[in-house]
Amino acid sequence: MNPRFRLVLQVIALFIVLAVLALIFPAAFKFAEGAARSIVRLWWLVLLVALALWLIWGVGRGPKNK
């Protein structure tokens, strides 16, 4: 599996997870919808998405050896 194909699969999986979570937790969907209207909530949403991306792709990777 080449890296580009793996990246596409990860992005697709991320969107599927977001869609399922929006269906399971309507309150989170309303928060995201409200975040689009309020700049204060938007920054919280940006931080939560950044944390999620860091947890998905950043955690578990060891330091790069030279």
Residue-wise pLDDT tens digits, 21-48? 778 888 877 877 777 777 766 777 788 8
For 28, 34, 36, the CA distances from 39, given in Å and listed in that order, are 17, 9, 7
The answer to whether 42 and 50 have CB atoms below 8 angstroms apart is: no
What pLDDT does 43 receive? 78
What pLDDT does 61 receive? 66
Q: Which residues contact 21 (CB under 8 A, 6 or more apart)?
A: 28
Does the pLDDT at position 62 exceed 70? no
Domain ranges of the chain: 3-57
